[in-house]
Structure 1
Amino acid sequence: MATAKSKKDSMPNAHLHELFVDELKDVLGAERQLLKGLKKLADAAHGEKLKQAFKSHYEQTEGHIERLKSVFSSIDLTARGKKCKAMEGLLNEAEEILEEFQDSPEVVDAALIAAAQKVEHYEIATYGCLVTYAKLMEHSEAEELLAATLAEEKDTDVLLTEIAMSESNLGQSK
């Protein structure tokens, strides 16, 4: 049985391993932080489609966390997250936007979508890098799991744009 060190040394592009693990910990922390943020976004949204989109993404995010646990398991590590400063900043900004526009219901949903898309773009960038690292290190199971999450994050971004263009940015949140 190969030790963890010899396994790591024999994998292609092993120089990326520590970065890969650090990014996995960061995104696990980010997804956990996002769960709290999505509840606030859903509560603050006026339009039903937007409320539902946030609630659906909450459930999807729970799945992303479970999928990340499987990614850690696939590379023989225990899933441990760390506080993601980027997500913390993005969620703080979302709260500031809410406070600033709370008296303008016709603007709130558009502002919430802008804040949520910043989060989605951060996640898309993160998962895109993780998929690449997994591919380069030939972690095929991790690559497949991470690619599935990446696709879902992209779909959420598209959905938010559709809601913005059909309702929220037009002042028609219903």
Structure 2
Amino acid sequence: MARKTVTDLFIHELSDVYSAEKQITRALPRMARATTNPLLAQAFNDHLEETQGQIERIDTLVEVAGIKLKRMKCIAMEGLVEESKELIEEIEKGAVLDAGLIGAAQKVEHYEIASYGTLIAMAKHLNLGDEVVGLLLATLKEEKATDEKLSKIAEQGGNQAATMES
């Protein structure tokens, strides 16, 4: 579908982030298994639950807004997920891998933060209503909170342990 209008673009971007969220649900368990840091494993598992809720939120948004998502694959997220797979394959389990996984997860969060921020602006422009904007805002807040949690894990020793190993 050609993106000729802001509505077309909104549907494309929402479809893209929907695909991204689905890909993340498959990547997070692998990342949780790869880490040796229990706090990081818990953060990945917590975010998996959150992500499943975010997918449900998009389903609700689609219903409320009366739109149909496009079947597509988020290529950006595919690349970010692939980077995390490479880390797991190339780095021995331990603090260095944990530091790499934190970085990989934060790249994902930053992508999602940018995506949801854009969708919120478009939803407001399109006058899709407070419910649609609220659903998107709820997810944006969760993504920002996850990013902050990952930063705290890194600052509380995750990256220091990696420095000690190198």
TM-score (norm 1): 0.87
- Which residue type is aligned with residue 16 of structure 2? D
How far apart, in 2, do the equivalents of 1:131 and 1:81 lie?
21
Check conservation: 2:12, 2:69, Cα contact below 8 A: no
Q: Could you tell me which of 92, 104, 110 is aligned with 1:115?
A: 104
Residue in 1 aligned with 2:33? 43
Structure 2 alignment gaps of length 5 or more? none
1:54 Cα deviation from its structure 2 partner: 0.2
Q: Aligned pair 1:134/2:123, yes or no?
A: yes
Q: Distance in 1 between matches of 2:70 and 2:157?
A: 39
Tell me if structure 2 keeps the 8 A contact 1:109–1:168.
yes
Deviations, residues 81-117 of structure 1 (Å, cap 9, x unaligned): 4211001000001111122212x51201100000000
Letter in 1 for 2:41: K
- Is the radius of gyration larger for structure 1 or structure 2? 1
Match of 1:10 in 2: none
Distance (Å, rounded) in 2 between the aligned partners of 1:62 and 1:80: 19
Which of 77, 87, 91 aligns to 2:77? It is 87
Q: Specify the SS of the correspondent of 1:167.
A: helix
- The match for 1:61 among 51, 67, 79 is 51
2:154 aligns to what? 164
Q: Matched residues in 1 for 2:70 and 2:51: separation?
A: 16
Root-mean-square deviation (CA), in Å? 1.5
Of residues 83, 94, 101 in structure 1, which corresponds to 2:91? 101
Q: What residue is the counterpart of 1:11 in the other structure?
A: none
Are 1:149 and 2:136 an aligned pair?
no
Q: 5+ unaligned residues in a row in structure 1: which ranges? A: 1-13
Mapping of residues 4-23 of structure 1, within 5 Å: 15-23=5-13
Q: CA deviation at 1:79?
A: 4.7
Matching residue within 60, 72, 77 for 2:67:
77
Matched residue type, 2:23: Q
- Taking every aligned residue pair, what percent have the same amino acid on both sides? 44
Q: Deviations over 1:19-48 (max 9, x none)?
A: 000111111111001000001101101111
Work out the CA distance in 1 between the residues paired with 2:79 and 2:18: 16
* Aligned positions, number: 158
8 Å CA contact retained: 1:24, 1:81: no
